[in-house]
Structure 1
């Protein structure tokens, strides 16, 4: 399919779905989502010439995982975003079945993208190529073709290059699967971004004390944070264990100290980045202020994916809000970027109250697009439940120190849950957006991300307490003054 044909077809689709969007109650107000079709991994995150660029995996022609291009949003402030035509579409032999995930760097004033070219054959086999494209303006790219071929010892599940520079040398990590069906992150090095030297496996499912830790590792990201080195990765094939690994696929991180230029990366245990239902394939970048900022795919490929009601409207999935990362005691802390406060409407609602063996709500808390901060001062309650729009419940059981998020399943409305254990519950910082929720727990020590699909007229937030608790509430309605 030629590039012009892609752009023409997308233009026709956008025009056809324009009126459909205005009547869709589940269209998000401040999260990035596709105008039509299926969105997945965030790609190429970068602040380039003062502008934030977010690319993403996009199949505009259906709500299934077909051939992907790179959709493209830009922003000056991480709040107001402008949509652009896709920057990479399949047009060459080495990417004919998709321009898969990758990353962006700035080189001598140019933006350079690295991505996986995907080729599928009728017999079910595939080929993979790590490719490069260059732009002088961040919008129009010249493809340079493959720069890394599949090394020996790996299956064609070899993709998602993340590139960075350290001590004058360029490095690339690629998500991989070995011939032994083991997940791995493979390291390359280069001085010119064109010729790449294979260094070997940086981390994998049978290294550093890991055992059978996934059959494929996707979407690696490697960076320095507070004088330590962090490897983000999305392993597939982890078995559920207690409150861990409850989703079909996981995303998390290892913290260690890299011997720069080698494959020596002794690291600690794996920690999940998000404990909710819908989070995968995160990517980070460092902005000009020195912040490490992350976005993730607010979705996942599982048995529930095809039952999301937005599919009837011709689209599915979204990205998370931008989150700033910090490292404390070798654990990542996630916080919404400060710029999001611009969305708060004037006034807001504040309340200090005590609840004891009662159910209570405030009409000021009602709404479908809001930010809510709840601080628990004196908590002697056995259980605290916060019901949101009769579709979600956040439940804290103090006797076992467990926090649980429950929602109605997309397929049949049955209740499903995700949970984690806390030493204590101190606060919840909640972003609510029509059909999405992001919950930052105890200052971002844990995070729950989920999609949900409540009725448009269900807007209440209801507290039920068994025992006694003192709480401080703050709530703002959120509004964007500009359209996405």
Structure 2
């Protein structure tokens, strides 16, 4: 991919001529990697989901957007609305970098309701002539006609004493009529932290302090905080940068996960267990949650990572959002399941019952590039089971399950062109219970794997050839009986 200059990265979309935009759009639309049922950028680069909320009968889904190419540059918010999180209406740009405080990007933030009106709280990014960063927190009102008007000045003019300008991504939480903002920060010692602010009128915000956790030197920055109570447990989500790998854990360039326990919001004290990764695949970051019309907690993440070059970059676009997941706590463990509304996309159901062993590979008789696949393991006497998805003679995405260790591995070493830099070609995790079911959502250039009804999730981009459409199963030794159910997924965005 070509190198972009600073000036190119900070060109305004509004200043580009329409012929240039049309040519860029045409190149992107011709890309063989374009997704079918995921939100993806019209052009350029998508990253963090922002402003997720259900309000007055509509879901609002925004994302960070640099329109002009597959690189991080001058960021906008791009917005969709939906009645069901399956069918989306394109609302276009909702927030632009058009003030001094956000002159170098409208960064991440969240949505909330105040006095029956919808508001966004977001980070404004400004650079001075020496390229020093200044981060401020802003609020904008979303009017009923869709217009968004920013408050005239920042509601939080900068980080408190003891913290650097890495101060961003406010997530607003409301309790008993009090508004709290959880903001990602870095202290002057160079460690990630989350700060808490409070307001009664959303204009005047008081710094309450730093959330106290058991994690001290755990990365140099904690991005994208999120806090909520779920089934009697308090969860604090964040994305630590600079965490060293530990065996199979923390293998990506940056991590995304949560701590769970009980949070004393008055005293800013979080009593919690270990930090757990939310997703064990290659490409997942910056998730945000919200409640749906029924009060369920829904999560959507960015299916990508910073500082990685993806094959779609050559077509002038990068990244997408994950499918929405519903969260629950069951027997003290977090489960993530695809929302049931995704079943609306199903068509052409195909089933097959079969077995595989060391000498007999089960070739699933149906093929596809965009599908949902449910694999039920009926009987398992195998030491290790292999599933190949999007397979051809030369390519496949391999899922391996070891019966003894309960280790499940996603291997994309033969999944076509790989993102760069390549930091290992496998990702693994361990299941709490023996593997009984896999549910996969496979799109043109991605795979989302739900193990044991949401016990673990593995999300990754894959960039295979058009010929890679096969589905196979085999074992190392011993025999396994399987039931496959496949649905084609139609495009209802």
**TM-score (ref. length: structure 1):** 0.93
Matched ranges for 1:421-432 at <5 A:
421-422=430-431, 423-432=433-442
Are 1:93 and 2:100 matched, yes or no? Answer: yes
Q: Does 1:192 align with 2:193?
A: no
Are 2:153 and 1:148 equivalent residues in the alignment? no
Deviations 1:21-51 (A, max 9, x none): 4432210000000010111000000112111
Q: CA deviation at 1:7?
A: 4.1
Q: What does 1:64-463 correspond to in 2, within 5 Å?
A: 64-137=71-144, 139-144=146-151, 145-149=153-157, 150-203=159-212, 207-208=213-214, 210-302=215-307, 305-306=308-309, 308-346=310-348, 348-357=349-358, 358-364=360-366, 366-389=367-390, 390-408=395-413, 409-411=418-420, 416-422=425-431, 423-463=433-473
Distance 2:238 2:457 in 1: 17
CA contact (8 A) 2:25 2:43 kept: no
The range that moved more, 255-264 or 427-436, is 255-264
Aligned positions, number: 471
Structure 2's unaligned 5+ residue stretches are 1-6
1:48 to 55, 73, 90: 55
Deviation for aligned residue 1:331: 2.4
Question: Structure 1 residue 162: deviation in Å?
Answer: 0.3
User: How many angstroms apart in 2 are the aligned matches of 1:153 and 1:12?
Assistant: 48
For 2:490, which of 460, 474, 479 is the aligned residue?
479
CA RMSD of aligned residues (A): 1.9
User: Residues 5 and 399 from structure 1, CA distance in 2 versus in 1: closer, same or farther, beyond 3 angstroms?
Assistant: closer
Q: CA distance change for structure 1 residues 377 and 138 in 2, over 3 Å: closer, same or farther?
A: farther
1:71 counterpart SS class: strand
Runs of at least 5 residues in structure 1 that lack an aligned partner in the other structure: none
Of 280-289 and 136-145, deviating more is: 136-145
Could you tell me how far apart the structure 2 residues matched to 1:345 and 1:137 are? 36
Q: C-alpha distance in 1, partners of 2:407/2:469?
A: 26
Say whether 1:470 aligns with 2:470: no
In the alignment, which of 15, 39, 62 is matched to residue 69 of structure 2?
Answer: 62
Task: Report SS of the residue matched to 2:351.
Answer: strand
* Deviations 1:193-223 (CA, angstroms, capped at 9, x unpaired): 11111111114xxx32x34211100000001
Deviation at residue 472 of structure 1 after TM alignment: 1.6
Partner-residue secondary structure (3-state), 1:257: strand
Q: Aligned equivalents of 1:10 and 1:28: distance in 2?
A: 27
Q: Determine helix, strand or coil for the equivalent of 1:189.
A: strand
* Cα separation, 1, equivalents of 2:48 and 2:20: 21
CA distance in 1, matches of 2:383, 2:225: 41
- CA shift in 2, pair 1:130/1:385, >3 Å: same
Judged with a 3 Å threshold, the aligned counterparts in structure 2 of structure 1 residues 415 and 195 are, in CA distance, closer, same or farther, namely closer
User: Residue 257 of structure 1: CA displacement?
Assistant: 1.2
CA separation in 1, counterparts of 2:190 and 2:363? 52
Q: Under a length normalisation based on structure 2, what TM-score does the superposition of the two structures give?
A: 0.92
Give 1:414 shift: 9.9
Q: Matched residues in 1 for 2:369 and 2:399: separation?
A: 16
Q: Give the drift of 1:138.
A: 6.8
The 3 A distance-change label for structure 1 pair 123 and 220 is same
For the 8 Å contact 2:78–2:93, the answer to whether it is kept is yes
Offset of residue 173 of structure 1: 0.2
Q: Distance in 2 between matches of 1:414 and 1:271?
A: 21
In structure 1, distance between residues paired with 2:122 and 2:60: 16
After TM superposition, give the deviation of residue 18 of structure 1 in Å: 4.0
